[in-house]
Amino acid sequence: MINLRNVRKFYGALEVIKGVDITVEDGEFAVFVGPSGCGKSTLLRMIAGLEGIDDGDLILNGKRINDVPPDKRGIAMVFQSYALYPHMTVAENIGFSLSLKKVPIAEINRQVGEVAEILQLTDYLDRRPAALSGGQRQRVAIGRAIIKKPSLILFDEPLSNLDSALRVQMRAELQRLHRELKATVVYVTHDQVEAMTMADRIVVLNKGIVAQSGHPMDLYHSPDNEFVATFIGSPKMNILPVMLSRPEAGKLRLENAMGLSISLADGDASVATGEAKLGIRPEHLKVSQDGQGDFSAEVVIVERLGVETYLAVGSPKDPIVVRAEGDLSIRPGDRVSLTVDLSACHLFDSNGRVIRRPQTL
């Protein structure tokens, strides 16, 4: 189990990690995700020991390891560039950490053989990295990590160098490996699809703080803030500026410039009225052409994929994206009516914090 408690990092006067608390349980596949510059790679390098920790505690299996050198932490890391030594064979690359420890050659060969078996690299042990495909290099990099029998494996955007087909395949392979090895994994990516498909726990980072942490579906269904709401899910959640008013006790009215007007039963009188934001995912808007709906808008772009259709409606600059099942024969310029699925939409205050509503609407 790895524990980060109020961890901070400064580059000069610039604070890049602003007091982060994260817990990853044994055997968990945790994914740190966020836009570039959010501090996710820095955080990973701090766990690895490649960057110092300026404040807070890093605790691995109950032991504070802030000042333990990287190779003594029992942590292995797979680098984005794989960092395979071009002058060594696959076997030498995988066995490098053992040969540094002066392990007898026969023992190194045995262990390298075992690892190669798991990773299906047995036929390639005598090759140089340059003679391998992208996926094979990736597996060698993983082999170099798991031969150390680490209690934690770190991955720094490991799939970003692969083409999209291989990425899907490697995603499945990494999940299989994780199940077989029962290893604890911390995985950094900027790709929310990777995060959603592989993670037991997602940690969304934004500007050096944890925006939200939890199971992918928790983040999808109940985001804590506008940032997480728009970051998780693809296409991203629509955010509509709305005015909140309370025409009578127990009722909340939402209105916006597009003619949207919804009444909510509001059990909690503490919700402040005024400017707010309504978050609706593209899949939670229902399209119809019969004029019956919460509001109507003009279609700007139509993307027909056969199994589903994406519509961009409203203003061309900042359109609302709608996902509809099946193939719809709607053309740009048509006017459509949209119905909001009230049970699935989210309300945020003007600062982007979610307004939790105690009862379903």
What's the CA gap between 120 and 244, in Å, rounded?
59
Q: Which stretch binds another protein (CB under 8 A): 72-80, 211-219, 273-281, 307-315?
A: 72-80
What's the CA gap between 203 and 47, in Å, rounded?
15
| DSSP codes joined into one string, 147-197 | TT--SEEEEESTTTTS-HHHHHHHHHHHHHHHHHHT--EEEEES-HHHHHH
Query: Which residue of 17, 22, 43, 75 would you call a contact of another protein, by CB under 8 A?
Result: 75
87 belongs to the binding site for another protein (CB under 8 A): yes
96 belongs to the binding site for another protein (CB under 8 A): yes
What's the CA gap between 121 and 177, in Å, rounded?
14
Q: Please report, as residue ranges, which positions from 120 to 159 form the binding site for another protein (by CB under 8 A).
A: 129-130, 144, 148
Assigned token pair, 306: 């056969």
Least distance CB 140 / another protein (angstroms): 11
Query: Which residue of 3, 97, 230, 263 would you call a contact of another protein, by CB under 8 A?
Result: 97
286 belongs to the binding site for another protein (CB under 8 A): no
Q: Please report, as residue ranges, which positions from 36 to 55 form the binding site for another protein (by CB under 8 A).
A: 48-50
66 belongs to the binding site for another protein (CB under 8 A): no
Least distance CB 71 / another protein (angstroms): 3
Query: Which residue of 29, 32, 82, 220 would you call a contact of another protein, by CB under 8 A?
Result: 82
Q: Choose between 144 and 277: whose C-beta lies nearer to another protein.
A: 144
CB 76 within 8 A of CB 156: no
Least distance CB 96 / another protein (angstroms): 5
Contacts of 120 (CB under 8 A, 6+ apart): 139
CB 352 within 8 A of CB 225: yes
80 belongs to the binding site for another protein (CB under 8 A): yes
